[in-house]
A and B are shown apart, each in its own frame.
Chain A
């Protein structure tokens, strides 16, 4: 059935479309995945509108794909089985900042940029953990994919920072999770059954999040980075262990790329901050001192290159490195395999990733980020692509497929994996886990309308 008119009745004509132009835009993203056609695009403003859309879709058995910024690059907000793309960005209210308990309650469409600017203006002493993604990415899209931000070493990944949420279930009921289900305060997730786990990491297949409470953190007065370089990849696990034993970083980037040549080895870029100058200086010194143990093998970069690293990596979010990859081939796109690995597996992944890149005629471009105090590493094996060149995109797809298999073969898991890569994981998953996931989904979404095609075999 054509549901255009009922959708218009719910959200209005301006925010509903089935025109080819809107469908074109919402049927693809800036990564390497094949376009997949949407049938309707809808931008709701209120929870009630979301509920009505869900009820309609349920009745008509039409898929819904929630979308925030649509910036995962792996097509996660591009519908696999058609239907409605629900652009959440009109739900953009920052409802409340609780300063003393350090959290913010916001609607699902609030962007990273908007929250950052709101805090800077009104609560300059607080900040949230901001991903390197363009500021158009939404807070909720980011927590749904269990993303990471500039405080991820010190404070954990972003989905761990969710205190509470409001969701519209696939059958249309609105439900609150966390302390807000009991109390007016959205201040904690524990000590309760962790129902938020039913929505985080599920890529919009279990319901639509309409609000979250996100933890905020003290904004430091002093913040800087150090750049260390090394040619010896095998030192990485020990060095990471030592540097995290200090337990003093906010974040740690690890970069290795073919271009420019000075970045070809491994660059370790710890981000260090403090509220007090003396503490800050001491932290910097302690990090530098660590190099004594690695004398001649890991060295401090100073001068022009260090300055360039500051310019590129110190702003929150950093602009230059991540986004600029999209223009490396003057082609408007890139995608990366986000391998989450045990630290000791990173050297193996890196050397094999270089081989894969070269096999597909790509310069290697490895951008890693340490997660959660040093418990795992997100290894981004990135490939730039030229959107105007179909062959190039095809090559990137193959390189991604091979990279995904590499990560899984050496014991890692894939982060924000595209549908094909999700399938690779499901194939390797404990069969009872797969069954459990299916049961959970069936219970929540009996008509399988939520972002179908994801997390399935």
Chain B
């Protein structure tokens, strides 16, 4: 919906601030990553609602570059929608998104956001990488392209396809799927960006275009079931694409495969593991169990929880395109560094993730914190791969 459709709701924000917290007001810190970093009221969900109302509804303030900077610092982690006590809470992230659509229309988006969108438009990915390079991650593996009749399309997404850190996860998942014996394949150079971040950044037109492109390929190839590496892709494909495809996040599929005995994890993996819930799997899609069920099924894994976990999980700071735009920036108080410290505090030696965006964000943060000797970031697919017989 467009911002005008919310015009009777936006001013209802009371600026009471429940949205900044976890459900139990964790003392560890605020759970809105933006507020957590900037600590000015303008950079809080309520502050943003008031600014959107003042600038884009009531006309009390002129929409500005600074407003745009504030709005685009939001990672769309959905903590605010979850914690706001009012009936309109579900609308908050939608309002934030609709406000960004206005910024796109008014050509006020930060330059780096414009660059992200242009790159996706021109190249089908934010990195200005050539389409044919979308195959590279699978080089020297037996993971093959999707062929008609394969049961699953393995949708990798931009980050898993191009980011060198996250490619490890893409390969590990491919390897696990191979071991499961499931007929599957990936699209490689025929895959285009799923558009989740484009949608979150407010470029509705481009999102529709990407959706069409992907849907057309899926249909052409007779795809029925899709398994995604990234929760971001999962969110877009499951909730915003046509419902003719059955979409799984890989943790859901692997959990089922372990349960049905198609994957045998009895080799085990000895580690103390803590798990970071990705926003687009957890708060957006309410999947908190599958990743944990996988980890606890692996002999030798001791799962320990961080203080902020499940629906109270603290975003890594990479959502809403921030993994690329970096509007939230680095520094000691950046969400990813806070999160890595929180993981370290559990005494775990592995910080398990289930999202390539979280993986790259947290990996960078780990280095910045100098904790590489004490903690390693691993995707659940990597842990699983190591545990398979």
Contacts and interface: CB of A to CB of B under 8 A. Distances in A.
B8 A15 contact: no
Contacts of B41: 22, 25-26, 70, 87
Contacts of B64: 19-21
Interface in B4-31: 8, 11-18, 20-21, 24-27
Interface in A170-215: none
Contact of B66 (A19, A71, A118, A121): A19
Contact of B61 (A20, A30, A136, A330): A20
Interface string A44-68: 0000000000000000000000000
Nearest to A330: B12
B221 interface: no
B297 interface: no
B51 interface: yes
Nearest to B43: A22
B106 interface: no
Given A25-B50, A94-B27, A136 B14 contact: no
Contacts of B51: 21, 24-25
B40 A114 contact: no
Interface in B38-94: 38-42, 47, 50-51, 54-55, 58, 60-62, 64, 66-67, 70, 85-87
Interface string A114-125: 111110110000
B40 A30 contact: no
A69 B46 CA distance: 12
A136 B18 contact: yes
Contacts of A25: 40-42, 47, 50-51
A326 B13 CA distance: 9
Contacts of A117: 24-27
Contact of B39 (A29, A90, A319, A388): A90
A15 B15 CA distance: 20
A153 interface: no
A327 B86 contact: yes
A90 B25 CA distance: 16
A136 B11 contact: no
Contacts of B27: 94, 114-115, 117-118, 121
Interface in A135-191: 135-136
B102 to A, nearest CB: 15
Given A118-B27, A327-B86, A332 B39 contact: no
Contacts of A113: 21, 25
Contacts of A422: none
Contacts of B40: 15, 17, 22, 25, 41, 43, 87
Nearest to B22: A117
A441 interface: no
A29 B15 CA distance: 8
A292 B11 CA distance: 48
A24 B54 contact: yes
Given A21-B66, A24-B51, A111-B25, A136 B17 contact: yes
Given A21-B66, A24-B54, A87-B39, A331 B11 contact: yes
Interface residues of B, number: 37
A89 interface: yes
A337 B325 CA distance: 47
Contacts of A87: 39-41
A125 to B, nearest CB: 17
Contact of B25 (A19, A24, A71, A116): A116
A30 B16 contact: yes
Contacts of A324: 85-86
A326 B25 contact: no
A200 B85 CA distance: 31
B25 A333 contact: no
A326 B16 contact: yes
Interface in B219-235: none
Interface residues of A, number: 45
A30 B14 CA distance: 6
A21 B20 contact: no
B85 A319 contact: yes
A385 B143 CA distance: 61
Nearest to A45: B39
A25 B64 CA distance: 15
A22 B25 contact: no
Contacts of B11: 331-332, 386-388
Contacts of B17: 69, 71, 134-136
Most B Cβ at <10 Å: residue of A20, A41, A323? A20
Nearest to B20: A136
Contact of A14 (B14, B16, B18, B38): B38
A327 B61 contact: no
A120 B60 contact: no
B106 to A, nearest CB: 15
A134 B83 CA distance: 12
Contact of A327 (B14, B58, B66, B70): B14
A136 B16 contact: yes
Interface string A305-326: 0000000000000010001101
A104 to B, nearest CB: 12
Given A24-B60, A25-B51, A136-B20, A323 B14 contact: yes
Given A134-B16, A327-B12, A332-B12, A21 B42 contact: yes
Contacts of B61: 20-21, 24
Nearest to A322: B16
A241 to B, nearest CB: 35
Given A21-B42, A43-B40, A135-B21, A323 B85 contact: yes
A133 B284 CA distance: 29
Nearest to B51: A21
Interface string A68-108: 01110000000000000001011000100000000000000
Contacts of B58: 388
Nearest to B66: A19
Contacts of A71: 16-17
Interface in A275-324: 319, 323-324
B22 to A, nearest CB: 8
Nearest to A320: B85
A326 B14 contact: yes
A121 to B, nearest CB: 7
Contacts of B87: 327
Contacts of A136: 16-18, 20-21
A26 B64 CA distance: 18
A369 to B, nearest CB: 19
A86 B369 CA distance: 30
Sorted nearest first, the 7 A-B pairs with minimum C-beta distance are A113-B25, A136-B17, A326-B14, A118-B27, A134-B16, A388-B11, A117-B25
28 contacts: A15-B38, A15-B39, A15-B40, A17-B40, A19-B66, A20-B66, A22-B42, A24-B50, A24-B51, A25-B51, A30-B16, A71-B17, A89-B39, A94-B27, A113-B21, A113-B25, A114-B26, A118-B27, A135-B17, A323-B16, A327-B12, A327-B86, A330-B8, A330-B12, A331-B11, A332-B14, A333-B14, A386-B11
Given A21-B67, A24-B61, 8 more contacts: A15-B39, A22-B42, A43-B40, A134-B18, A135-B21, A323-B85, A332-B14, A332-B15
Interface of B: 8, 11-18, 20-21, 24-27, 38-42, 47, 50-51, 54-55, 58, 60-62, 64, 66-67, 70, 85-87, 307
